[in-house]
A and B are shown apart, each in its own frame.
Chain A
Amino acid sequence: MAEAKTILVRVKRQAGPQDTPQWEEFSIRWRPNMNVIACLIDIAENPVTSDGRKTTPVSYEANCLEEVCGACAMVINGHSRQACSALVDHLEQPIRLEPMSKFPLVRDLVVDRQRMFNDAKRMRCWVPIDGTYAIGPGPRIAPERQEVAYALSRCIFCGNCLEVCPKVNEHGDFVGAAIVNQVRLFNMHPTGAMHAHERLRAVRGPGGIQECDNAQNCVKACPKGIPLTESNNDVNRQALLDSILGWMFH
């Protein structure tokens, strides 16, 4: 019988935020249709490096396994992307797995992306409704408008757009393309627009849209094909008008 095919996976390990990172290599039995998550499950089942040393299972985040929850973002062969949709057969070997670098590290491939949720809070990314009581239907919306909004609202908060952004680093605190896109989404909604002024004020504030220098890495890294450059230009224009005309513009 021919020897079973194997896959080589190198993982950048780090036991905790204060520890020094180190690389470990694993050799995994190939099966059809494997993704990176399947490799990590194999490692958990047999946590032994390719040179036969016992180690611990690799910590990583994943939930939906179909690229809709955003959990599993990591840097794979140098590219920030979702691990569940990274199919082994399409990856160059050895496959290199690293944690995202722009977020605080928790352990191994797990990082803390809480800042994105905090920024969403700061930018009031919601439609302010009066209550959950039965007070009739929402506003009518033209299908064309719905289609634009739907495309924006598919953001899975994976953070890939922040990871690749040159303006998100230790020195700058740019909120990142995802949040700017959220501002556009909520300003588009007839009820959401009632808070447009506050959102635009926040998005002009510290770490706001002025930090963006249009590198456009974000739009290439986004797994959901969200038109981030367009959102950025749109919010930029809104912010400018808002700063000149204030609430009268709304």
Chain B
Amino acid sequence: MSSTKVILIGGGLAGLMAAIRVAELGHSVDLFSVVPVRRSHSVCAQGGINAAKNLKGEGDSTWQHFDDTVYGGDFLQNQPLVKGMCEAAPGIIDLLDRMGVTFNRTPEGLLDFRRFGGTLYHRTAFAGATTGQQLLYALDEQVRRFESEGKVRKLESWMFLSAVLDDAGVCRGVSAVSLRSGEVRTFPSDAVIVATGGIGAIFRQSTNSVACTGSAQSALFQQGVHYANPEMIQVHPTAIPGEDKCRLISESVRGEGGRVWVPKAAGDGRDPRTIPDAERFYFLEEWYPKYGNLVPRDVATRAIHKVVYELGLGIDGKNMVYLDVTHLPREMLTRKLGGVLEIYEKFVGLDPRDHPMKVFPAQHYTMGGIWVNNENQATNVPGIFAAGECEYQYHGANRLGANSLLSCLYGGMLAGPAAVKYAQSIAKSAESVSSAVYEREQKRQEEIYDRLRSQQGEENPISLWKEMGETMTQHATVIRYNKDLQAADAKLAELQDRYHRINLADTGRWGNQSLHFTRELGNMLVLARLIVQAAALRDESRGAHYKPDFPDRDDEHWLRTTRAEYDNGSFKFQFDPVDTSLIPPRKRSYTSS
């Protein structure tokens, strides 16, 4: 068999795993990333990764993991691949363990597991409280090994701009820009895997990293790649509000015994440490006795919202509640949660071992993403595959904590070999495609840049970005009303209009960050509109998508995947049936004890 070259966009967990699989099969990889891959957003993951290893004698099973995941996602997932993922999980943990991930251990030297939200089992393997960092490093190191053997070529500080599509609509490579020199180039290849992660920047202050803009997903969408369930956006209940970003305080803090509360009396301004237990309202424990502080994220987020906005019990009258670990042993806190508590200490200046933390919900994750099929991560465009947070397959209407790292790895494991297989099966390879196809795409991209450089007007990209973020956070997160969503869409359309009047202070080529950011901003606005339009259409409440005017789940009409197609500036929606062949949908409720 001849050797194929696969292009990989993104070197987070999903991209690196796919790269390893392709290289391992003897093929070569061009790996593109806006940041050096070791600095990818996956390093932010704190709490852990799920696998039903059942090492705690609880009778856990991969089926139970599957059931928790589907139930947690409010039945919006196509079930077969989710089952596959849960079954593969224990083997994936073994693989990571062999790669040298410094997972926490039991006294017997085995892997330790902690509890996470939406399950009653200890199912989450962890490396201190910087699990994503440790996982990403292990994969980065394996990829470096393949790099030293010449099987992987890294193109770091290169930003993907578009797919190169031939006249038949088949993907023949990509166009990208060097963030250093500003040069735009095309790169031929027979298969492309997209693993560009989350879209937090659309909400501006999210828990995501700077590079999580969703620009690549949006560019592909505008080229004809379908996008599914855009409206499914996860808001994490516990983050530290911040000027530049909202820093996450991981669910693992509650997994290890952290408790959420507010003072029972509105406006109680006392030092929280002096407020006696009887005068504290542990609302999650009271409302959800069985799961307590470990209800799924959508449930916890709405509860906090209610406590703050409906009951008026936010700390000091502000949007904040306490997340308290001061009752837990210091040594354990440092050993198991050091990495997270350090973040609070560094950025707030108080030691959470002594002071209850003040937290509030923030945009955290997108369940929706690039549409892929139910077998092998292929999109609807031949030659384009997707894996990781950028695709929609595994989490339905709400993702359970510690399931994302898993879905990234599983998706990457499937996408790598699938891309190779596809590349080897096509009759005509990229080499035989006319160079005019590549020249055409390069020219199109250069023209977009030229236009941005020469635009006149009074607008500034950062200001537009802030307005977009505010609109999205206000109207498209925890609570949604149709009239607000429509107003948000109108606002976004206005921003798109003003976008053409952005006047760049810097029109040079070398290292011009604001130019590339502006490029991304245009794409973010498209994705933002897609999110609010899809949210407006779904008249029900399911998982993270909650409309007070339609408070119940409506399986009859809405047990459907939203699937969007770009159509000359507007969007066409279709609603596909969901494959619920393995676990029949049942009512989702965490209240009973």
Which residues does A use to contact B, with CB under 8 Å? 15-16, 31-35, 37-38, 41, 44-47, 54-57, 59-71, 84-85, 87, 106-108, 110, 113-114, 117, 120-121, 124-129, 131-132, 134-138, 140-143, 146-147, 149-150, 153-154, 156-157, 186, 189, 191-192
Q: Does B102 contact A (CB under 8 A)?
A: yes
Cβ–Cβ < 8 Å partners of B169 in chain A: none
Q: How far is the CA of A125 from the CA of B211 in the complex (A)?
A: 26
**CB-based contact B105/A35 at 8 Å:** no
**CB-based contact B347/A85 at 8 Å:** yes
B348 CB to nearest chain A CB (Å): 8
Q: Does B133 contact A (CB under 8 A)?
A: yes
Q: How far is the CA of A71 from the CA of B463 in the complex (A)?
A: 24
* Main SS class of interface, A: loop
10 pairs of residues in contact across A and B, judged by CB atoms under 8 Å: A16-B510, A37-B244, A44-B461, A45-B460, A47-B506, A59-B511, A61-B35, A71-B36, A107-B510, A124-B148
Cβ–Cβ < 8 Å partners of B462 in chain A: 41, 44-45
Cβ–Cβ < 8 Å partners of A131 in chain B: 24
Which residues does B use to contact A, with CB under 8 Å? 20-21, 24, 35-36, 38-41, 43-44, 91, 94-95, 97-100, 102-110, 127-128, 130, 133-134, 137-138, 141-142, 144-145, 147-148, 180, 209-211, 242-245, 247-248, 335, 339, 343, 346-349, 413, 460-463, 466, 505-506, 508, 510-514
A107 CB to nearest chain B CB (Å): 3
Q: How far is the CA of A233 from the CA of B178 in the complex (A)?
A: 41
Q: How far is the CA of A37 from the CA of B338 in the complex (A)?
A: 24
Cβ–Cβ < 8 Å partners of B105 in chain A: 141-143, 146
Cβ–Cβ < 8 Å partners of B513 in chain A: 44, 57, 59-60
Chain B, Cβ-Cβ closest to A113: B36
Cβ–Cβ < 8 Å partners of A66 in chain B: 44, 245, 247-248, 343, 347
**CB-based contact B243/A34 at 8 Å:** yes
* Known contacts A45-B463, A121-B148; is-contact A153 B134 (Cβ 8 Å): yes
Cβ–Cβ < 8 Å partners of A106 in chain B: 180, 511
Chain A, Cβ-Cβ closest to B46: A68
Query: CB < 8 Å: which of B21, B180, B506 contacts A132?
Result: B21
**CB-based contact B243/A68 at 8 Å:** no
**CB-based contact A125/B144 at 8 Å:** yes
Q: How far is the CA of A87 from the CA of B347 in the complex (A)?
A: 8
**CB-based contact B142/A134 at 8 Å:** no
**CB-based contact B210/A65 at 8 Å:** yes
Query: CB < 8 Å: which of A31, A107, A114, A126 contacts B142?
Result: A126
Q: How far is the CA of A73 from the CA of B115 in the complex (A)?
A: 35
Query: CB < 8 Å: which of B36, B109, B128, B209 contacts A141?
Result: B109
**CB-based contact B20/A68 at 8 Å:** no
* Known contacts A106-B511, A134-B94; is-contact A150 B127 (Cβ 8 Å): yes
A136 CB to nearest chain B CB (Å): 6
